[in-house]
Amino acid sequence: MKILVTGGAGFIGSAVIRHILSDTDYQVVNLDSLTYAGNLDSIPATLLSSQYVFECVDICNREDVDRVFQQHQPDIVMHLAAESHVDRSIENPNCFVETNIIGTYNLLESARVYWLSLADEKKASFRFHHISTDEVFGDLAGKDGLFVETTAYDPSSPYSATKASADHLVRAWLRTYGLPTLITNCSNNYGPYHFPEKLIPHMILNALNGQALPIYGDGLQVRDWLYVDDHARALVLVAIKGQIGESYNIGGHNEKRNIDVVNTLCDALETLAPDKPDGIGHYRDLITFVSDRPGHDLRYAIDASKIQRELGWQPEETFETGINKTVQWYLDNTRWWQRVLSGDYQLTRRGENANGQ
């Protein structure tokens, strides 16, 4: 089986590829344009083999996407390529519209043309799995509600609006053209190889450097947290065994307020990195509150019972075990994040050859 993963050099995409290369015998084609968030260092050289091919391609370039389909003949598409940082979407929504909407349209059309050209047996087994976010649902009122697969869409930011648009396109290509599609909507991911602009790695690295830990507003925003390797297992499972036309919510069963996430990180660092920068008494002393961002949703929470009931998936990590693993990973892999912070990871990225060596 050959799986085409778009956005495979990103945080979640690279976790999917590491899982495929480590735990299966499937072949994988990594299609990524290597924007600032694409980092081939996130796929260790020790995993690279004849199972793996890298294609530096932008999904907004239809001609290049068509070539990838024709050259590599995938059995499954796992579409993760997206602009994903909410703050960046507020500052510059244009690239979110281009990548998340136009890029998804291009990929769907390339996939549809390719799918129609296949022999009957291969055509019948082809799948297009679109990976989305719980942010398309907006936020939840109160403390008890959960997002289910049928929750009405109510996006709040340019990021979530463009992801919602992509979800609608995917469903339309199924209903109008019969393209065999599936959708997953996940909660907030965290874990190794996370780009430092995101909350958890940003707080870890700031704390290690004795810098302020900025928290939006009062820090009472609630998110469900999902360890990225648990998510990767779920995504491959859905791609292979999920029912065509269905959507599946994937969550970690870990609802936490942002302030509690940061406090948990600080406590883990007290144990795992007790030698603090000069002048720092406790890591929690670095916490500071800053002005909230526009349109900041108060609460997300996922009901992941459908994927557990129908496909047998559930997360292996609790929030506490996942956070400890994450903090320890950043402590053990300083070269990875130092290359990101310095920008060195971008210097040789386009020189990678076809098998990523």
Lowest mean pLDDT among 181-195, 254-268, 339-353: 339-353
Active site residue 134: yes
Give per-residue pLDDT as tens, 169-181. Answer: 999 999 999 999 9
Give the three-class secondary structure for 94.
Answer: helix
Inside any domain, residue 98: yes
**Beta pairing class for 247-250 and 188-190:** unpaired
State the average pLDDT over residues 256-283: 94
- Position 349 scores a pLDDT of 53
- Position 69 scores a pLDDT of 98
Cα-trace Rg, the chain:
20
Q: Which of 41, 83, 135, 167 is catalytic?
A: 135
Residue 40 has pLDDT above 80, yes or no: yes
Q: Output the six-digit token pair for 354.
A: 């076809």
Q: Which amino acid is at 218?
A: D
User: Exposure string (b/e) for 283-308, b if CB count within 10 Å is 16 or more?
Assistant: beebbeeeeeeeeebebbbbbbebbb
Report the mean per-residue pLDDT for the chain.
93
Residues, the chain: 357
Residue 91: CATH number of its domain: 3.40.50.720
Q: How far apart are CA 224 and CA 119, in angstroms?
A: 42
Give per-residue pLDDT as tens, 91-108. Answer: 999 999 999 999 999 999
Q: Which residues contact 115 (CB under 8 A, 6 or more apart)?
A: 123, 126, 128, 179, 180
Q: Distance of CA 190 to CAs 120, 232, 295, Å?
A: 40, 12, 22
Q: Which of 302, 18, 16, 253 is nearest to 133 (CA)?
A: 302
Q: Output the six-digit token pair for 27.
A: 């072949």
189 phi and psi angles, rounded to 5 deg: -95, 155
* Residue-range definition of the domain harbouring residue 136: 2-191+226-253+300-318+345-351
Q: Output the six-digit token pair for 66.
A: 């068509």
Inside any domain, residue 280: no
Q: Which of 134, 255, 297, 317 is catalytic?
A: 134
Q: Is the Cβ–Cβ distance between 156 and 89 less than 8 Å?
A: no
Inside any domain, residue 156: yes
**Beta pairing class for 127-133 and 76-79:** parallel
Inside any domain, residue 92: yes
Active site residue 159: yes
Active site residue 87: no
Residue 211 has pLDDT above 80, yes or no: yes
Inside any domain, residue 338: no
Inside any domain, residue 263: no
- Position 351 scores a pLDDT of 42
Lowest mean pLDDT among 32-46, 137-151, 153-167, 262-276: 137-151
Inside any domain, residue 18: yes
How many Cα atoms sit within 13 Å of 126 on the Cβ side? 25
Give per-residue pLDDT as tens, 115-157. Answer: 999 999 999 999 999 999 999 999 887 777 899 999 999 999 9
pTM for this one?
0.93
Number of domains in the chain: 1
Q: Which of 52, 105, 114, 159 is catalytic?
A: 159
Inside any domain, residue 16: yes
- Position 357 scores a pLDDT of 35
